[in-house]
Amino acid sequence: THAIRKTPRFSGDSERIDGPFPIAPEERAVAEAALAPYIDRILYGRCDMARDASGQPMIMELELVEPSLFFVKQPASLDRYIAGLRRRLSW
């Protein structure tokens, strides 16, 4: 639904998070392909990406559980998450 950017964090550094940003079409395609096997079983998925030497997006980390859902960066995502929980719980 959205993208954020995180700066590299080193020992003792604060984490800086910017966004939300639109998702580039090629990034969306990579993320959707990575999440496809799990899409019916998850409410959240995060694909951390970097670009290779030719500029193509590559997944560095696929995360399906996240303690910090970054709702503050995209408030509407909280509503979508709650709606997904309600559907899953049949409310």
Q: Which domain holds residue 69?
A: 3-89
Question: Burial of 47 by CB count in 10 Å (0-12 exposed, 13-18 middle, 19+ buried)?
Answer: buried
Reference 49, options 10, 4, 18; nearest CA is: 4
pLDDT truncated to tens, each residue of the chain (91 aa)?
777 777 777 767 777 778 888 889 999 999 999 999 988 888 888 899 999 999 999 999 998 877 667 777 778 888 888 888 888 888 6
For residue 27, the model assigns a pLDDT of 94
Taking the complete model, does pTM exceed 0.85, yes or no?
Answer: no
Domain count, the chain: 1
| 3-state secondary structure (DSSP) of residue 26 | helix
For residue 32, the model assigns a pLDDT of 94
